[in-house]
Amino acid sequence: MKTQKLTLSALLIAIGTLLGSVIYIPVGVAKCFPIQHTINVISAVVLGPFYAVLNAFIISLLRNILGRGTLLAFPGSMVGALLAGVLYYKYRKTLIAVIGEIIGTGIIGGLLAFPIAKFIMGREVLAFAFVIPFLVSTIGGSLIAYFILLSTKQYIRRYIR
């Protein structure tokens, strides 16, 4: 089972890195990547919180190394993946994982992006500047994941923890 999880994790990281770098919505100073949130929810439901956070971190790192992302990718994606994974683990409901991703990325991650933008990136922004762009991105990506998981439920049931 561990080999299957690692293989699926690698596949999701590749998809998140390649598609997540191509498909984005520019909103203000942030680039919103809905594919990242799709991967976060799928990872949270199928692989669990540990893999979801690890996948989010590696995708953010690879996108930054490739020059396709910003430092703002880290707080949003990782907090959203963690909350989605923990909530799914506790309640075993895909919709709860989606809500966790939206709250974790859109609200908490949006607020955590402020100090990174201000103190590390040197941008003059308001404390709530990233909440709306992050919400736009995560709602779209999380809904995509929800419909993917619903439509493939019979095929992935054996992989879900």
Q: What is the pLDDT of residues 117-158, one digit of tens each?
A: 888 888 888 778 888 888 988 998 999 999 999 998 877 766
Which residues have CB under 8 Å from 92's CB, separation 6+?
Answer: none
Domain-located, residue 90: yes
Q: Which helix (H) or strand (E) holds 31?
A: strand 30-32
Domain that holds residue 31: 2-156
Domain-located, residue 161: no
The count of structural domains within the chain is: 1
> What CATH number is given to the structural domain containing 70?
1.10.1760.20
Q: Please tell me which residue, 55 or 32, carries the higher pLDDT value.
A: 55
Domain-located, residue 57: yes
Determine the longest span between alpha carbons in the chain, in angstroms: 48
Say if pTM beats, i.e. exceeds, 0.85: yes
| pLDDT tens figures, 34-93 | 899 999 999 999 999 999 999 999 999 999 999 988 888 898 899 999 999 999 999 999
